[in-house]
Chains A and B, each alone.
Chain A
């Protein structure tokens, strides 16, 4: 599967060059490598690098003021169960509470053009958070999902410093209410895990993409970056997209169109 990874890793110029020449020949060999998951049942064998999960965000479809993805993420991952510690300042709490997706609004000061986009863990191929983790708690799963093993996390927050996307949150206080699928405890760092619990049970979906479709925006497309026939690669092939901070060469799993 190396050629797949490399093809996602190339710069824009290389990509355009290749696209002009041999695009049809390059896509075909991957077709039979992908095994679709047939039914929703918990997996019994470990994840492999046969898949690499990712997202495409079409910022032109992302509506101003809409928080459907953020809300869906909050309830899917129990983030809405966090409570403000007694007596803490409201503004401080808003800045400190764990969030996995942030809605970001950009304005071009010259033209006045406004862009909205959801920003979450970009699931880098070369994640800086993993590089800096002193205990090995921050890791990349075989299927490309960057996660924190909170059993090993010591809460040093180096990963939060290293992440160019401000994707990680720290849990400052004991959390009283938790979901079985989303453990959460004081002193650990966490971030978007692309709804790994869904994927592990055969649901090829994330709460955010599902909510965005339900709202009718279709701004988020979730899928397998290694499946040339899948919805994500089809969308990526159709739309010009880029990585945020592409210059860092992290090869993110989350791609953005229209920025």
Chain B
């Protein structure tokens, strides 16, 4: 009887250790969102977090063809949206390259050991976006649209 109880306790301990272990594991993966990025203040990404972790590139790749061939640039599934929201800022408010050491894209891709070559060609900080409030205001005279004021976050 005593032997059975000992076995039970051991099993319970093992389960507890495993459980705690997997919880810590999950937390570690989620930690790649930088506190200084806009994304940190949001509950989840453009799709649920779990979905994004596994399928973000499917979304980006689909949006890529929509943009190149169809000219649809405003959709939230584009790479420029990822960069705009997930880019981290240093103390002076300057954006840090998203593929730099310790930054959002790089750190998770390094963790998962997946090569990332988006940023061989694409901008790593939000700079000269095709559309934001600032651009719309600058070109308002061309289209006669009501221009919205630029926000500090858009540059």
Q: Kindly state the separation between the CA atoms of A186 and B121 in the bound complex, as whole angstroms.
A: 8
Interface size class of B (residues with CB under 8 A): 20 to 34
Q: Kindly state the separation between the CA atoms of A151 and B68 in the bound complex, as whole angstroms.
A: 9
Docked complex: B63-111 residues within 8 A CB-CB of A:
64, 66, 68-75, 80, 83
Residues of B contacting A202 in the complex (Cβ-Cβ under 8 angstroms) = 143, 145
Q: Known contacts A202-B143, A202-B145; decide if A43 and B120 are in contact (CB<8 Å).
A: no
Q: Known contacts A151-B64, A202-B143, A203-B143; decide if A43 and B123 are in contact (CB<8 Å).
A: no
A150 part of interface (Cβ distance < 8 Å): yes
Contacting pair A43 B74 (CB below 8 A) = yes
Residues of B contacting A42 in the complex (Cβ-Cβ under 8 angstroms) = 72-75, 130-131
Contacting pair A149 B69 (CB below 8 A) = yes
- Which of A93-101, A115-123, A173-181 is the contact stretch? A173-181
Contacting pair A179 B142 (CB below 8 A) = no
* Number of residues of chain A lying within 8 A (CB) of chain B: 42
- When the two chains form the complex, which single residue of B68, B121, B128, B140 contacts A181, counting CB atoms closer than 8 Å? B128
A196 part of interface (Cβ distance < 8 Å): yes
Q: Kindly state the separation between the CA atoms of A186 and B74 in the bound complex, as whole angstroms.
A: 26
- Which of A17-25, A139-147, A156-164 is the contact stretch? A139-147
Q: Kindly state the separation between the CA atoms of A143 and B70 in the bound complex, as whole angstroms.
A: 9
Residues of A contacting B53 in the complex (Cβ-Cβ under 8 angstroms) = none
Q: Known contacts A150-B121, A186-B120, A198-B139; decide if A46 and B128 are in contact (CB<8 Å).
A: no
Contacting pair B129 A180 (CB below 8 A) = yes
Most buried by A among B68, B83, B140: B68
A200 part of interface (Cβ distance < 8 Å): yes
Q: Kindly state the separation between the CA atoms of A202 and B147 in the bound complex, as whole angstroms.
A: 13
Q: Known contacts A180-B129, A200-B130; decide if A47 and B143 are in contact (CB<8 Å).
A: no
A147 to chain B, nearest CB (A): 7
Residues of A contacting B144 in the complex (Cβ-Cβ under 8 angstroms) = 39
B54 part of interface (Cβ distance < 8 Å): no
A128 part of interface (Cβ distance < 8 Å): no
Docked complex: B115-155 residues within 8 A CB-CB of A:
120-124, 126-131, 135-136, 139-140, 142-146
* 14 additional A-B residue pairs with CB within 8 Å, beyond A37-B143, A40-B136, A150-B121: A38-B145, A41-B131, A43-B71, A43-B72, A46-B70, A179-B128, A180-B122, A180-B128, A185-B120, A185-B121, A186-B120, A200-B73, A203-B139, A204-B143
18 A–B contacts from the bound complex (CB under 8 Å): A39-B145, A40-B136, A40-B142, A40-B143, A46-B69, A46-B70, A47-B71, A139-B69, A151-B64, A179-B128, A180-B123, A185-B121, A197-B73, A200-B71, A201-B130, A202-B145, A203-B143, A210-B142
9 tightest Cβ-Cβ pairs between the two chains A and B: A42-B74, A185-B121, A179-B128, A46-B70, A197-B130, A39-B145, A181-B130, A200-B71, A201-B131
